[in-house]
Chains A and B, each alone.
Chain A
Amino acid sequence: MGYWKEIVEGGWSLVEGMRVTVRRLVKPVVTVQYPRKRLEMSPAYRGHIEFVRFPDTGTHRCIACGTCQRTCPTGVIKVQGIKEHARGGKVATHYVIDFTRCSLCGLCVESCPTQTLKFSREYELEGDSRWDGVIDLMERLEDGR
């Protein structure tokens, strides 16, 4: 009896498999022809971090407090700032990250007291040396990217 049962059940499972694939065959394809067509990135997408440009000042609000640098679990952030006026706060002059070691945990973005850090939508990174993964956020902001 097991012999016939196996044939019938096995045969039915094959038919079932073919039903699945033929359905996929007539469904619209999901692949995007990448260089010519691009998808809108999801708001939840995490690229490397970058500065927020605030419309009122036209620039970032980084005060070089170093919170991000201290919270970063892999220590990829290097931030430096100067005090322009004796009574004023510090302003960042250098902000560099080594994206090759970043785990995209987001602690820097969360801990920033001035909310000047955000995730970029950058997904087209490439490079031929590991130094290409070192990104200068100041430079990025100035270039207007």
Chain B
Amino acid sequence: MTETVATSAGSDWLRIIIGLVVVLIFAPLNALLLVWLERKVAGHIQLRLGPMEVGPHGLLQTIVDGIKLLGKELITPSRADRILFPLAPVLVFMPVLLAFLVLPFGPQLVIREMNVGLLLIFAFSTFTVLAILTGGWASNNKYALLGAIRSVAQNVAYEIPLLLAAMAVVFMVRSFNLSEIVMAQHRVWFIFLQPVAGLIFFICATAETNRAPFDIPEAESELVAGFHTEYSGMRFGLFFLAEYTNMFIVCAVAATLFFGGWHGPFGFGLRIPGVVWFLLKTYVLLFVLMWFRWTFPRVRFDQLMNFSWKVMIPLSLVNLVVTAAVLKLL
């Protein structure tokens, strides 16, 4: 339905307003579903059931948790920064919403076509780091600050191979436009042409979203909860919401860049709407992220840095050079 509404809405403004409303509804729902799914996947990997009490198979558990979070008092530590402390949760959430602007959910289902769509996503994703640093610094708490500093170092380290891996795809399509990147994959997905870039992209995306095994900024067993130690109630909820929406975005970008976006596998499934394929691929990738989390132990900070600077960056550079050379020769 949204597809028809969006395409029939000729004016750009109307399209953006409808898109934003849909995104504002979709983002929390997606987060609710993912939190529930995360707990179920964790439960089943550990041979237990996960939440089962509230609603069928614990489906209402996250909603109840959300209501509980809403009811909690918003505590501000006595010597915290009065302006930056409440600002950080808002800062962390805004860029995540903006990334939805250029994601191609279907052939016509893009809120705003942009020639620099991919750049926009990467540009705004760095805002999250700023928000985490703001939150950690403004909390006036050593653990929060340590978590925030770790987050910045980690994001700087992993942003480079992430961009280099995405560049390999951009080299092949010669465009930053996400819809064009998807259209270039109507025969073969880029994961088959660029497997190394795909792998590097996904590993770096895991690190960028601060997910295990790269959940160094949170590291609840070492840093209490890291950058959001001092946040309570819905302020903490916003960090949580942003994390899960961010996960959706990186998986959606991975699906767009490497898994053919809205295309069905190998040209099959043409009768199924593109948005279904797109969401299916995104959620499969999200499941893989969860699978990572419940498989691998957290890496140490020096291992994390070594892995990025000594393995990911050289590998992605080599991959980029080889891609450029092959494209030049062909």
Which positions in A face B, CB cutoff 8 Å? 3, 7, 14, 17-18, 20-22, 24-25, 27, 29-31, 33
Task: Note all chain B residues with C-beta closer than 8 A to A17.
Answer: 295-296
Instruction: Tell me if B240 is interfacial: C-beta within 8 Å of chain A.
Output: no
Evaluate contact between A24 and B49: CB separation under 8 angstroms.
Answer: no
Q: Which residues of B are in contact with A by a Cβ distance under 8 Å?
A: 41, 43-49, 52, 291-292, 294-296, 310-311
The reply to whether B52 and A24 form a contact with Cβ atoms under 8 Å apart is no
Chain B residues positioned under 8 Å from A18 (CB to CB): 291-292, 295
In contact, A21 and B291 (Cβ under 8 angstroms): yes
Chain A residues within 8 Å of B294, by CB: 21
Closest CB of chain A to B159's CB: distance in Å?
21
Whether B295 contacts A21 by the Cβ 8 Å rule is yes
Q: Which residues of B have CB within 8 Å of A14?
A: 295-296
A25 and B49 contact, CB distance less than 8 A: no
Interface of A is mostly: helix
Contact A31 B48 (CB under 8 A): yes
Option from B46, B296, B310, B311 in Cβ contact (under 8 Å) with A24: B46
Question: B52's contact among A3, A21, A30, A33, by CB below 8 Å, is which?
Answer: A33
Q: Are A24 and B45 neighbours in the complex by a CB distance under 8 Å?
A: yes
A25 and B48 form a contact (CB under 8 A): no
Closest A residue to B293 by beta carbon equals: A21
Whole-angstrom distance from the CB of B75 to the nearest CB of chain A? 32
Query: Which residues on the B side are within 8 Å of A22 (C-beta)?
Result: 291
Beyond A20-B295, A21-B295, A30-B47, 10 additional pairs, beta carbon < 8 A: A7-B311, A17-B295, A17-B296, A18-B292, A21-B45, A21-B291, A21-B294, A24-B45, A25-B44, A29-B43
Please give, as numbers and ranges, the residues of chain B lying within 8 Å of A21 by CB-CB distance.
Answer: 45, 291, 294-295
Which chain A positions have C-beta within 8 A of B43? 29
Closest residue of B by beta carbon distance from A22 = B291
Q: Please, which residues of chain A bring their CB within 8 A of the CB of B311?
A: 7
Does B44 contact A30, Cβ atoms closer than 8 Å? Answer: no
List A contacts of B48 (CB < 8 A).
Answer: 29-31
B residues less than 8 Å from A27 (CB atoms) = 47
Q: Which of A3, A7, A29, A33 contacts B47 (CB 8 A)?
A: A29
Centre residue among A20, A25, A31 by max chain B CB count within 10 A: A25
Cβ A31 vs Cβ B295 within 8 A: no
- CA separation between A69 and B47, bound complex, in Å? 44
Contact of A31 among B41, B49, B291, B296 (CB under 8 A): B49
Q: Given A17-B296, A29-B49, do A24 and B291 touch, yes or no (CB 8 Å)?
A: no
Contacts of A24 in B (CB 8 A): 44-47
Residue of A nearest to B315 (CB): A7
**Chain B residue at smallest Cβ distance from A13:** B296
Which residues on the A side are within 8 Å of B291 (C-beta)? 18, 21-22, 25
Q: List 19 A-B contacts (CB under 8 A).
A: A14-B295, A17-B295, A18-B291, A20-B295, A21-B45, A21-B291, A21-B295, A24-B44, A24-B47, A25-B44, A25-B291, A27-B47, A29-B44, A29-B47, A29-B48, A30-B47, A30-B48, A31-B47, A33-B52
Chain A neighbourhood of B52, CB < 8 A: 33
How close is A12's CB to chain B, nearest CB, in angstroms?
14
The smallest C-beta distance from A76 to any residue of chain B, in angstroms, reads 35
Q: Give 10 closest A-B pairs by Cβ, nearest first.
A: A31-B48, A21-B295, A17-B295, A30-B47, A21-B45, A25-B44, A25-B45, A24-B45, A31-B49, A18-B295
Closest partner residue, chain B, to A7 (CB atom): B311
With CB as the reference atom, state the residue of chain A lying closest to B43: A29
A22 and B288 CA atoms in complex are apart in Å by: 10
> CA separation between A21 and B294, bound complex, in Å?
8
* Cα(A15)–Cα(B52), bound, Å: 30
B321 to chain A, nearest CB (A): 17
Q: A residues within 8 A CB of B47?
A: 24, 27, 29-31
* CA A54 to CA B45, docked complex, whole Å: 48
Q: Which residues of A contact B41 (CB under 8 A)?
A: 25
Q: Is the CB of B45 within 8 A of A33?
A: no
Chain A, residue nearest B46 (CB): A24
Residues of B within 8 A of A31 (CB): 47-49
A134, B294: Cα distance in complex, Å: 43
CA distance in complex: A3, B184 (Å): 35
Task: Please give the distance in Å from A117's CB to the nearest CB on chain B.
Answer: 37
